Structures are given as structure tokens and as C-alpha cells.
Copies of this chain bind each other. A is one copy, B any other.
Amino acid sequence: MADEKQKILDHLWFREMYTGRNVGLIMRIERMIYSKKNDIQRIDVFDHPDLGRVFVLDGMNMLTEKDEFMYHEMLVHVPMFSHPNPKKVLVIGGGDGGSVREVLKHDCVENVILCEVDKDVIETAKKYLPTGVELDNPKLKIVIANGAEYVKNFENEFDVIIIDSTDPTAGEGGHLFTEEFYANCRKALKKGGVLSAETESPFYDYPWLKMAYERMKKSFKLVKVYMGFMATYPSGCWSYLFASDEIDPLRDFDPDRVKKFNRPLKYYNEEIHVASFALPNFVREIIE
């Protein structure tokens, strides 16, 4: 039995090649949990001996149980703590449930809509992913739709919009990086509303950050890049955009609200909020 286990541990590997395909990450697969190919994408779930449950879309690592907190906390709490009192929140993408879980840690939130294009992602998350814990929360409404289309239905509706997309080369991710989409998000926000978006690695994929930043600037008065570590994403160096017409995430930030927050966080704190807007020179240059 021991020998058989060893054999399994040695021959199953996940490999993700980064942009350019000359460098990438490999992860040992302890056990394949689930695989499905539907009309939209390929879904894989496996267990890693150290990183726990791993969720993969079209061959790209979306999250590992061990480090997903880095990404989800930064994508969610920076806008949620920049807004003085977020009640209605729209999450676009993010069918794994990680962003929704973080949003629902804020007691002030009254309702959340999760707009995910692929119903199989929601079902996978509910059945197999540790991030799926809040997908049955009564404050949450799940809508299966293309986010870029869905957001057109709203005007002056949300306090916070969170764009938790896959990368823009993916079929569905691409819709969530267009000028029109950002303009529609702006329209769907209430006055005083704020938005955040994941914008990939400034080391391997800086053209995507640059593109998203320039496009978002056409719809919002204030757009700022912020950054965080994300251990199993390409380069571990991850960028996000914050956008608003009225709210400045540094000027309008109240660190005491974070200090008094009654839910455990593994990454985000009041110092990280401010520090994440300090950009290394090579990132400053991308958006100059």
C-alpha cells in the first residue's frame, strides 16, 4: 500500500506555463477530485500534499486552499473598507465563492449578487471547494450570466462592484476588460460607489494592467493600482485596480474600522491597506 501511494505521488503533476510559455509552476497532484469540460471551459480540482485543494480553469490555477486568502482579501477588503458603509455589492466572476465569503464578513452588507458565467463553477465550488462556504448564504443571489451583459441592467444600484475575472486571454475573461464594460460598471454604481478589479501580474503581464488602467480611467475620475502577494499566481506579484468618482482609498480610509473588525483575516490589515498603494518603480512606469 505504501508503495502504491508513493507511485501515485510521483506520476501525477499539474503544470501551468506563464505568458511566453518558457517559465511555469508545477504542483504534485495527490489526488484528482473532479474534472469536467463544458461549452465554456475545462474545470479541474485536485488535492496537493501541502497546498490543499486546488481549483483550475482551462489549465490555469485559480486558487489553492493554502494561499487563496491573499488574493481574495486584497480584492475585497480594500474596496469594502474604502467605502464608508457598503450595503449592496455585485461580484462579477468569482464563482469559486472566495470573494463572496470575504464580502459577507462585513455585517453592514445587506445583499450580494454573484454574477458567474459558468454554472458548473458554482456547482464545483459548492461541492468541492473550501471557498464555497457562503454560496448558500441567504443574503446572496447567484445569477448565471455573462457579467458584461448583466451589468447593463443596472443604474445607480451598487455600493461596491468587485471584478473577480480570469485573465483577458480566456474567452470569458476578455469581456471583463473592455472600455464599455467599465463604463457600464460606473453606471451601475451608486454615487459614492467604488470598484475593484484583479489585473494580473505586472511582471509577466504588464500590458494587461496598462490596458485595464487606461480603459478604466476613461470612466472613473480616480483609478489607482494597488498590489499584493499571491504565492501560487505567476510571479507572486499581483496587481488590482481601485476606481471611484468620489472615494479616495487613502484619503477616505478609516483605519479604526479595520482595527474594530470582528472577523479573522489572514492578510489584510489597516497598514496593508495603505501600503498596498505604494508601487515599485517598475509598476509606476507601466501606468505613467
Report yes or no: A26 in contact with B28, Cβ–Cβ below 8 A. Answer: no
Q: How far is the CB of A265 from chain B (nearest CB, A)?
A: 6
Which residues of B sit under 8 angstroms from A269, Cβ to Cβ? 278, 280-281, 284
Residue of A230, A275, A279 with most chain B CB atoms under a 10 A cut-off:
A275
Chain B residues near A153: list those with CB within 8 A.
none
Q: Considering only CB atoms and an 8 Å cut-off, how many residues of chain A contact the other chain? A: 45
From A269, which residue of chain B is reached at the shortest CB distance? B281
Nearest chain-B residue to A17 (Cβ)? B26
- Give the contacting residue for A281; candidates B230, B232, B266; CB below 8 A: B266
Q: Which residues of B contact A232 (CB under 8 A)?
A: 23, 235
Asked if A108 CB lies within 8 Å of chain B CBs, one says no
Integer count of this chain's copies in the complex:
2
**Minimum distance in angstroms from A252 CB to a CB of chain B:** 19
29 A-B contacts (beta carbon < 8 Å): A22-B27, A22-B28, A23-B25, A23-B28, A23-B48, A23-B51, A23-B232, A24-B25, A24-B26, A25-B25, A25-B26, A67-B235, A70-B280, A201-B231, A203-B231, A228-B280, A229-B229, A229-B235, A229-B236, A229-B280, A231-B237, A233-B236, A235-B236, A236-B237, A267-B281, A268-B281, A269-B281, A271-B278, A274-B275
Interface residues of chain A, those whose CB is within 8 Å of chain B, are: 15, 20, 22-28, 48-51, 67, 69-70, 201, 203-204, 227-233, 235-237, 265-269, 271-272, 274-276, 278-282, 284
